[in-house]
């Protein structure tokens, strides 16, 4: 099995990510694509306090923590573009406009990195969009996920817990599917204004779920559950595990 894992945004690596990685061990070739903001640890307590500030040191830190079959196919550390809304948006009480915009922007960009790599190196059997602060609760058999999305190519596997939305229920922390469906998943950024102008509630999960519905992509319950920043070290500090 040939797997691509896409990670974007701030380097919020926590203990939960080790549970994600443990499910990739011995699963065949696994290529990682990282598009990380150059955010220093002083800006967020979710970023490991010893997170390095050079790309070589970041690459070494990540490589040392990946499973033996894991390979860094591409790593970029960038300054995020300015967030400059051009109009007034009707936000919900649960919308952090800035964070939502950067999340979907990062997903689009890291997916473009994966697509470019595929043009030179061939397609992946399974593509996973993940976060460095989320991990699977139970052992996951990725061969079963691959079998499902291969048999149902217009489907994406997302966790059953942490599902939210307004009139829609979906988890936006992790998504698994074929390259084609994950490219559709990642393209939601291009339609944010269109959906807003069509009166879709301007809210992370709602927009993502609507986008998948428009493209007839199924995200039914999967039996998969995730941890999301659930581990703490007293007094109520994020547990960064090996990433500290």
Using one digit for the tens of pLDDT, what is the confidence trace for 104-152?
999 999 999 999 999 999 999 999 999 999 999 999 999 999 999 999 9
Give per-residue pLDDT as tens, 193-214: 999 999 999 999 999 999 999 9
DSSP string, 176-215: EE-HHHHHHHHGGGGGHHHHHHTT--B-HHHHHHHHHHHT
What's the full length of the chain, in residues?
244
Task: Give me the phi and psi of 206, to 5 degrees please.
Answer: -65, -45
Q: Does the structure show a pLDDT above 80 at 234?
A: no
Give per-residue pLDDT as tens, 63-114: 999 999 999 999 999 999 999 888 899 999 999 999 999 999 999 999 999 9
Residues 6+ apart with CB under 8 A from 227: 16, 19, 134, 135, 136, 137
Angle at 4 between CA 33 and CA 79, to 5 degrees: 15
Residues 6+ apart with CB under 8 A from 3: 24, 27, 28, 29, 30, 31, 124, 125, 126, 127, 128, 142
Which pLDDT belongs to residue 27? 82
Count the Cβ atoms, other than its own, within 10 Å of residue 34. 22
Picking from 237, 220, 204, 3, the residue whose alpha carbon sits closest to that of residue 104 is 204
Q: Please, which residues bridge with residue 77 across strands? A: 36
pTM: 0.96
Mean pLDDT computed over 205-225: 97
Which pLDDT belongs to residue 2? 96
Domains of the chain: 3-243 (3.90.550)
The strand pair at 226-228 and 232-233 is best described as unpaired
Query: Mean pLDDT of all residues in the chain?
Result: 95
- Our measurement of the distance from residue 178's CA atom to the centroid of its chain's CA atoms, rounded to an integer in Å, reads 15
Given a contact cutoff of 8 angstroms between Cβ atoms, the answer to whether 98 and 80 are in contact is no
Percent of the chain with pLDDT over 90: 91
CA distance linking residue 199 with residue 197, whole number of Å: 5
């Amino acid at each position: 099995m040939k797997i691509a894992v896409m990670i974007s945004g701030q380097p919020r690596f926590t203990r939960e990510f080790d549970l994600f990685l443990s499910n990739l061990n011995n699963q065949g070739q696994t290529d990682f694509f990282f598009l990380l903001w150059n955010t220093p640890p002083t800006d967020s307590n979710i970023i490991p306090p010893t997170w390095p500030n050079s790309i070589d040191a970041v690459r070494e830190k990540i490589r040392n923590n990946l499973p033996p079959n894991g390979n860094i196919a591409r790593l970029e550390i960038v300054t995020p573009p300015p967030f400059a809304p051009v109009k007034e948006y009707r936000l919900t009480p649960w919308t952090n406009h800035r964070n939502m915009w950067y999340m979907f922007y990062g997903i689009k960009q890291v997916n473009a990195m994966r697509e470019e790599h595929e043009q030179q190196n061939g397609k992946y059997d399974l593509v996973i969009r993940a976060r460095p602060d989320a991990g699977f609760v139970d052992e996951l058999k990725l061969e079963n996920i691959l079998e499902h999305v291969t048999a149902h190519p217009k489907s994406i596997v997302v966790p059953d817990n942490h599902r939210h939305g307004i009139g829609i229920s979906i988890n936006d922390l992790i998504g698994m599917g074929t390259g084609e469906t994950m490219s559709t998943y990642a393209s939601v950024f291009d339609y944010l204004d269109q959906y807003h102008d069509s009166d879709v509630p301007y809210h992370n999960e709602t927009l993502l779920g609507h986008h998948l519905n428009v493209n007839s992509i199924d995200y039914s319950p999967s039996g998969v559950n995730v941890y999301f920043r659930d581990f703490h070290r007293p007094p109520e500090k994020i547990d960064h595990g090996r990433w500290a």
